[in-house]
Chains A and B, each alone.
Chain A
């Protein structure tokens, strides 16, 4: 039987989309959190990090409750004629939610290690808050943000439990590589399971190679912002 390659594209599209979403949300949440103290933000931290410690099946089940026909968001979406559960967006939501904590933690750590004197110096030189962020804070935090992006992408690519709960395993629509492997094994189709595993290894190695090239092999001029 010929291998249906659709899980590759679904996995990649899902991971890229989910990583893009977590990048924006993770950076926004980390900036919002950076200058706040107190019990409220600390509690919110707990919610942000919950997907990291909860079993993915629990995350998936909670998402199912939220996005299901009777859930608060599900009902709202149904009102507009849309349904998330068992659709491609569900794979993205599941991957984004489980990978968000890694992005958030990395970006927060990256922003915290930027010397606050540099931001203050920029302000005394007449820079607006946006310019301070874009020209000073972001470039200096960039290596950490990049690391968070790679971690989040890897996590999204490997996501299984929450995706299965929320998106199911619909070939050509929601079946990602990890899910394809699971069902191949369950159907006793070891050839297909091995093939998918090898493809997953190749994708992962390519990613690691790309990472290595990006952080180590580029010339000192291109990577100069990466050092302090």
Chain B
């Protein structure tokens, strides 16, 4: 059970060129808007035709430009959940779910629809029209409709982006359960890195039509292969950098020399550190990568604070900051009244060394 995707397609502003495969599990496709995520799904579903390449599902060739194969959508057995759900507005929830089961005799179709309604927790909603359903219910009908045809692969195009925050986590949990039961290749497209992290074990990062990273999520978050990917995975602090020796680099924008935990191999273009990993230590504390720092600005978040910090010398009223740090309220309460400067430590273990 695997979905193999490799194709190119010229789009208006760039060339979409992707290559990845997905086993019987969920693969998150993360990328900013306009990166080609939806287009990739549409090509796999057969709604758009790539210029060249090959798409295969369980060894069944869906598209192969060199052999002139382009299986029509209706024969691909690839379920697609549209971002706006694309429910048929003139059909009830049950009729929507039954839409793809036209070929089955009643004796099979009716129990199948009932089973999908039960799995999607839609009992009692069977005869409602889409506009009489809430956003979360609509999403569940759309998912049940896609799953009813027992597709060989499932493609989800930002299925949670249209939901309110309070619904979001509940629907997301149901979706994770559904995907776990699916046991076939599933692609989950999103621009939200936290969502991608929660939904899938493996990630494909797409930027401007290219696969910028591909692998286990922990690996990509811990060691992003490029600044682009690091920023997409939520990196807030980065500086141009160059290698000085096997274990030291110079961070040009931060005006400091930093020790690294691992020996440097290959080129160094940037150094970075995630906002949650910046440590606050006693003023004058010894240790690697510890510098005096002054707060420039602070902005409150629901459960903590974002601090903008200047290293080496006081801000002098200027707004320039070097680093952005996230602190939980508890820690902030302990620190806010301490004399400045504070000790700011960029732990070598937390440093990201980015080759490009």
Residues of chain A touching chain B, judged by Cβ–Cβ distance below 8 Å, are 115, 117-118, 120-128, 131, 135-136, 139-140, 224-225, 227-228
CB distance from A173 to the nearest CB of B (A): 44
Q: Determine the interface band of chain B, counting residues with CB < 8 A from chain A.
A: 20 to 34
CB proximity to A under 8 Å, residues B23-65: 45-47
- B89 touching A124, Cβ below 8 Å: no
**Distance between Cα atoms of A131 and B46 in the complex (Å):** 18
**How close is A226's CB to chain B, nearest CB, in angstroms?**
9
**Contact (Cβ within 8 A) A127 B84:** no
Residue numbers of B with Cβ under 8 A of A are: 45-47, 72-80, 82, 84, 86, 88-90, 99-100, 102-103, 129, 145-146, 149
The number of A-B residue pairs with CB atoms under 8 Å apart is 64
On whether the beta carbons of A125 and B149 are closer than 8 Å, the reply is yes
Question: Across the interface, do A123 and B73 meet the contact criterion of CB distance under 8 Å?
Answer: yes
Task: A117-B86, A118-B86, A124-B80 given; name 7 further pairs at CB < 8 Å.
Answer: A117-B82, A121-B80, A122-B88, A124-B73, A124-B79, A125-B74, A140-B90
Interface residue from A126, A139, A224 paired with B100 (Cβ < 8 Å):
A126
B146 CB contacts on chain A under 8 angstroms: 124-125
| Contact call B129/A123, Cβ cutoff below 8 A | no
**In the docked arrangement, what's the CA distance between A225 and B91, Å?**
8
Contact of B90 among A117, A120, A139 (CB under 8 A): A139
| Residues on A with beta carbons closer than 8 Å to the beta carbon of B129 | 224
Q: Considering the chains assembled together, what is the distance between the CA atoms of A120 and B155 in angstroms?
A: 14
Instruction: Find the A residue at minimum CB distance from B82.
Output: A117
Whether B89 contacts A122 by the Cβ 8 Å rule is no
29 example contacts (A-B, Cβ-Cβ < 8 A) are as follows A115-B86, A117-B82, A117-B86, A118-B88, A118-B89, A120-B86, A121-B86, A122-B88, A123-B46, A123-B72, A123-B73, A124-B45, A124-B46, A124-B76, A124-B78, A124-B79, A125-B74, A125-B145, A125-B146, A126-B75, A126-B100, A126-B103, A126-B149, A127-B100, A127-B102, A131-B102, A139-B90, A140-B89, A224-B90
| A123-B47, A139-B90 known; A128+B84 contact, CB < 8 A | no
- Cβ–Cβ contact A136 & B88, under 8 A: yes
Q: Which chain B residue has the least Cβ–Cβ distance from A220?
A: B129
Q: How far is the CA of A115 from the CA of B83 in the complex (A)?
A: 13
Given the complex, which residues of A lie within 8 Å of B149, measured CB to CB? 125-126
Closest B residue to A139 using CB positions? B90
Whether A121 contacts B82 in the complex (CB less than 8 A), given A127-B74, A131-B102, comes out as: yes
CB pair A135 B99 closer than 8 Å = yes
Closest chain-B Cβ to A116's Cβ sits at a distance in Å of: 9
Using A125-B99, A125-B100, A125-B145 as known contacts, say yes or no to A120 and B73 having CB atoms under 8 A apart: yes
Task: Please name all residues of chain B whose beta carbon is closer than 8 Å to the beta carbon of A139 when the two chains form the complex.
Answer: 90
**Shortest Cβ distance from residue B148 to the other chain A in the assembled complex, whole angstroms:** 8
A227 to B130 alpha-carbon distance, docked (Å): 12
A100 CB to closest chain B CB (Å) equals 28
In the complex, which of the residues B74, B90, B103 contacts A124, with contact meaning CB atoms closer than 8 Å?
B74
**Docked complex Cα distance between A118 and B45 (Å):** 14
Closest Cβ neighbor of B80 among chain A residues? A124
How many angstroms between the C-alpha atoms of A122 and B84 in the bound complex? 14
- Docked Cα-Cα span, A121 to B72, in Å, equals 13
User: In the complex, how many angstroms separate the beta carbon of A222 from the nearest chain B beta carbon?
Assistant: 12
Contacts of A118 in B (CB 8 A): 86, 88-89
User: Which has the most chain A C-beta neighbours within 10 Å: B78, B84, B90?
Assistant: B90
How distant is A39 from chain B, measured CB to nearest CB, in Å? 22
Q: Is the CB of B99 within 8 A of A127?
A: yes
Q: Please give, as numbers and ranges, the residues of chain A lying within 8 Å of B88 by CB-CB distance.
A: 118, 121-122, 135-136
